[in-house]
């Protein structure tokens, strides 16, 4: 769940915090509240991506070769629950939208090419600061308000899992031409947005991507 607009700076921050802070066991009952500790922005670059495990996603395994990290899933699920309970701003990116939806009771497409095949390229090749497809904005949602006057925007794309059925309390903000959900939000939260694409790779070339991060930062001061 990347909340950093710069993947490189996230990696630097992670290295610094790993050096200065003790590791937190993912399932330790005696561990202090995760939301009170320093939270490391994770690098969501494709090279470091991992899939949401089938048990959390409430789905069967696909049988394809997958990069999984159950400990990461457990830690992030616990962290997400605490941050939502504290009503702190959240911006989920790629894996982040999938984790948020699964943890709140939604379901995922485990593998789009086999479960929801289409002509849309959801797993583009580098460079990632380029556009892969468009998404249609849902009228009346915060994302549509942010990009007033636009019914669709161009995004990049690097994923094979995706939101299938939104969790209770989550609403769709954008969809791809093939119907894949590309952005969600939670009206009951002060700020909980999540997008399937990677604005952290586009913000230098696309002002709309920077606007998403600006909205997230502004929410921290409200």
Among all chains, which residue has been given the structure tokens 């583009």?
A: 124
Among all chains, which residue has been given the structure tokens 């607009």?
A: 5
Please provide the DSSP assignment of 198-212 as one string: -HHHHTTT-HHHHHH
Number of Cβ atoms within 10 Å of the Cβ of 95: 25
CATH top-level class of 7-28+37-220: alpha beta
Number of H helices, E strands in the chain: 8, 8
> Is 160 one of the annotated active-site residues of the chain?
no
38: which 2 tokens?
């320093």
> Is 171 one of the annotated active-site residues of the chain?
no
Question: Where in the chain are the domains?
Answer: 7-28+37-220
Minimum mean pLDDT range among 34-43, 69-78, 199-208, 209-218: 34-43
The answer to whether 49 and 27 have CB atoms below 8 angstroms apart is no
> Is 94 one of the annotated active-site residues of the chain?
yes
Q: Which of these is catalytic: 42, 76, 94, 103?
A: 94
Q: Which of these is catalytic: 42, 76, 182, 200?
A: 200
Minimum mean pLDDT range among 78-87, 117-126, 156-165: 117-126
Task: Write out pLDDT tens, residues 148-184.
Answer: 999 999 999 887 799 999 999 999 999 999 999 999 9
Share of the chain above pLDDT 70, in %: 69
Task: Write out pLDDT tens, residues 86-106.
Answer: 999 999 999 899 999 999 999
Chain mean pLDDT for the chain: 77
């Amino acid at each position: 769940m990347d909340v950093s607009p710069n993947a490189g700076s996230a990696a630097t921050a992670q290295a610094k915090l790993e050096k200065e802070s003790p590791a937190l066991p993912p399932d330790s009952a005696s561990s202090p509240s995760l939301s009170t500790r320093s939270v490391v922005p994770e690098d969501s670059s494709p090279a470091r991506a991992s899939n949401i495990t089938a048990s959390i996603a409430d789905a069967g395994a696909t049988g394809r070769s997958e990069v999984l990290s159950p400990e990461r899933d457990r830690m992030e699920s616990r962290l997400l629950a605490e941050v939502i309970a504290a009503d702190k701003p959240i911006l989920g990116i790629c894996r982040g939208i999938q984790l948020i939806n699964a943890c709140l009771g939604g379901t995922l497409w485990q593998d789009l090419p086999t479960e929801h095949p289409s002509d849309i390229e959801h797993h583009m090749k580098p460079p990632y600061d380029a556009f892969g497809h468009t998404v249609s904005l849902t009228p009346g949602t915060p994302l549509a308000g942010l990009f007033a006057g636009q019914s669709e925007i161009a995004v990049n794309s690097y994923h094979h899992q995706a939101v299938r059925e939104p969790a209770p309390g989550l609403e769709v903000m954008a969809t791809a031409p093939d119907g894949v959900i590309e952005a969600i939000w939670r009206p009951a939260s002060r700020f909980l947005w999540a997008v399937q694409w990677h604005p952290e790779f586009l913000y230098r070339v696309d002002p709309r991507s920077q606007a998403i991060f600006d909205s997230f930062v502004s929410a921290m001061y409200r």
